Amino acid sequence: MNKSSDTQRMEKIVSLCKRRGFIFQSSEIYGGLNGCWDYGPLGVELKRNLKNYWWRVMVHERDDVVGMDGSILMNRAVWKASGHEDTFTDPMVDCRSCKARLRADQLIDKKGVKQCPNCGGKDLTAPRAFNLMFKTFVGATEDESSVTYLRPETAQSIFVQFKNVLEVSRKKLPFGIAQIGKAFRNEINPRNFTFRSREFEQMELEYFCRAEEGMKWLDYWLEERLKFYENIGIPREKLHAHEIPDEERAFYSKGTYDIEFDFPFGRQELEGVAYRTDYDLQQHIKASGKPLDYFDEETKQRFVPHVVEPSAGVDRTVLALICEAYDEDTAPDEKGKLETRIVLRFHPRMAPIKCAVFPLLKNNEQLVAKAKEIADLLRPHMNVFYDETGAIGRRYRRQDEIGTPFAVTVDFETLGEKDPALRDTVTLRDRDSMKQERVPITELVSILTSRIR
Ligand code: GAP
């Protein structure tokens, strides 16, 4: 695919997201707020499905991981100890021609001369460190003593609660603590739709282990995380495990991979999987004076565990899911003429709405009553959408465009008017193949639940 068709594809995706209620600009009626986004009725379902599946796979289906939910505001001492207050910075450059503030690594390099990507200007300031944390004040006085920050990652609350969680969960090494929550970074250039935002969510696991097993668990978690993306519908060939070379890795990390995805705007990071050694716990031990260590009952030894951290972005993964799902094909309209069909081919497990339910005709009381009855039958098991307006083909198209994998239609055969043998059966249509099968209403719940789990 060439550059312009990738750009066009991205434009179509952004417009679909707004038109169908996946993602809106935050504070839109006031001109928006750069780097902030709101998820609409379908976006919130997609995001929730992703987070729920992550939690299921990373916490519920495992015996060695427990969860926690930390506060966004923490004692400033946390951010001093973790190194964020001094070093969580991006190099920033000002363009003196158009006054743009730019990340130094986003400048255009033309034959060794750096240029502003906005105006092409070459009159640029020297790079200076810009701290990405949002500063705020706790309590009624706004002075140095009340300063703290909105957390730029969820990980630190896991490290500072390590001892409490260890004690209450009575876990033995290796074991992990998982968390999903908001993080905030005052990015210099938010861009590529939700990809680089100032407010976003992370899904992080801190997996504590013995030092000698750190590299083994790094490899293990990289593989587990790649499998996770495949299981939500992102094919392996679009995923890349990029090993960060020694000179680019954080000094305390003994190995880091970025899991990257081929977005329409290029190959970009979805998740980092890092072996962080015992750096974070040691920093907090030094700064707090508290013993964040582990006592091995068997060897009677006390030591500070090492940690492997798979850290994924919720919003980036949602964007990857939408980009991967977006497709156009052709389907016959009401008169049999082929027209372009926009379809989101979400994995059924991720789809915001699992099944649409339609009465064939809106003005037939029996069809409507039966269809509503079926929607109520399915609702406790999945997110269902009932629709009776417009021609049936149009209703299918509307669902295709938002990625609903299944649609049930109640017709005259359901009422037993044509063939008594077909009474209480419905058509079940598949979004991707557009094929329809006839199934008994009594089997709908089990057929659908097995396909969406
Ligand atoms: N605790 C480690 C950590 O925070 P990171 O690589 O800075 O590592 C982890 O962030 C993940 O969080 C990224 O891979 C990405 O998915 C997501 N993320 C980071 N900054 C983001 C931003 N500005 N907008 C959206 N997602 C972001």
**Residue 271 Cβ contacting ligand 1 at under 6 Å:** yes
Which atom of ligand 1 is least distant from the CA of 196? Answer: 24
CA-proximal residue: ligand 1, atom 16 (nearest): 313
Q: State the closest ligand 1 atom to the C-alpha of 259, by its place in the atom list counted from 1.
A: 14
Q: Give Cα 107 distance to the centre of its chain.
A: 28
Long-range contacts of 139-145 (CB under 8 A, 24+ apart): none
User: Contact 95/124 with Cβ under 8 angstroms?
Assistant: yes
Instruction: Indicate if ligand 1 lies below 6 Å from the C-beta of 153.
Output: yes
Within 10 angstroms of residue 64's Cβ, the number of other Cβ atoms is 13
**Ligand 1 centroid, distance to 187 Cα (angstroms):** 11
Distance from Cα 99 to the centre of ligand 1, integer Å: 27
Helix ranges restricted to H, 152-193: 155-160, 162-169
- 150 CA distance to ligand 1 middle (Å): 14
Distance CA 176, CA 220 (A): 13
In angstroms, how far is CA 127 from the centroid of its own chain?
32
Q: Judge if the beta carbon of residue 260 lies within 6 A of ligand 1.
A: no
Report the separation in Å between the CA atom of 411 and the middle of ligand 1, taken as the mean of its atom positions. 49
Tokens matching residue 352: 């915001």
CA of 312 to the centre of ligand 1 (A): 7
Residue of 36, 291, 314 whose CA lies nearest to 154: 314
Per-position DSSP letters for 92-127, written without gaps between them: EEEBTTT--EEEGGGSEEETTEEE-TTT----BPPP
Q: Is 158 in the pocket of ligand 1 (CB under 6 A)?
A: no
The closest residue, in CA terms, to atom 27 on ligand 1 is 313
The CA-CA-CA angle for residues 359, 361, 362, to 5°, reads 85
What is the distance between the alpha carbons of residues 225 and 34, in angstroms, rounded to a whole number? Answer: 31
pLDDT tens-digit map of 349-384: 999 999 999 999 999 999 999 999 999 999 999 999
Which two three-digit tokens encode residue 421? 């043998």
How far apart are alpha carbons 399 and 376 in whole angstroms? 19
Q: Which residues of the chain have pLDDT under 70?
A: 1-3
Ligand 1: which residue has its CA nearest to atom 9?
Answer: 311
- Residue pLDDT, tens place only, 318-341: 999 999 999 999 988 878 889 999
Query: Distance between CA 239 and CA 139 in Å, rounded?
Result: 45
**Distance spanning both ends of the chain, measured CA to CA:** 33
pLDDT at residue 1 in the model: 47
> Could you tell me which of 434, 348, 430, 358 has the C-alpha nearest to residue 392?
358
Answer for the pair 146, 137: CB distance below 8 angstroms, yes or no. yes
Is there an atom of ligand 1 within 6 Å of 202 CB? yes
Q: What is residue 165's three-state secondary structure?
A: helix
Q: How many CB atoms lie within 10 A of CB 52?
A: 13
- 69 CA to middle of ligand 1, Å? 18
Instruction: Indicate whether residue 204 lines ligand 1 (CB < 6 A).
Output: yes
Q: Is the CB of 90 under 6 A from ligand 1?
A: no
pLDDT of residue 3: 61
Number of H helices, E strands in the chain: 12, 25
Q: Are 135 and 128 in contact (CB under 8 A)?
A: no
Q: How far apart are CA 214 and CA 220, in angstroms?
A: 10
pLDDT digits (tens, 9 = 90+) for 239-282: 999 999 999 999 999 999 999 999 999 999 999 999 999 999 99
187 lines ligand 1 (CB under 6 A): yes
E-assigned strands of 333-450? Answer: 338-344, 355-359, 384-386, 406-410, 425-430, 436-440
User: Whose Cα sits closest to atom 17 in ligand 1?
Assistant: 313
Nearest to 287 by CA among 79, 73, 72, 74: 79
How many whole angstroms from 184 Cα to the centroid of ligand 1?
A: 10
202 C-alpha vs ligand 1 centroid, how far in Å?
7
Q: Is the CB of 315 under 6 A from ligand 1?
A: yes
* Two structure tokens written together for 277: 């050694």
Which residues have a Cβ under 8 Å from the Cβ of 365 and sit 6 or more positions away? none
State residue 172's pLDDT score.
96
Q: How much is the pLDDT for 2?
A: 57
270 lines ligand 1 (CB under 6 A): yes
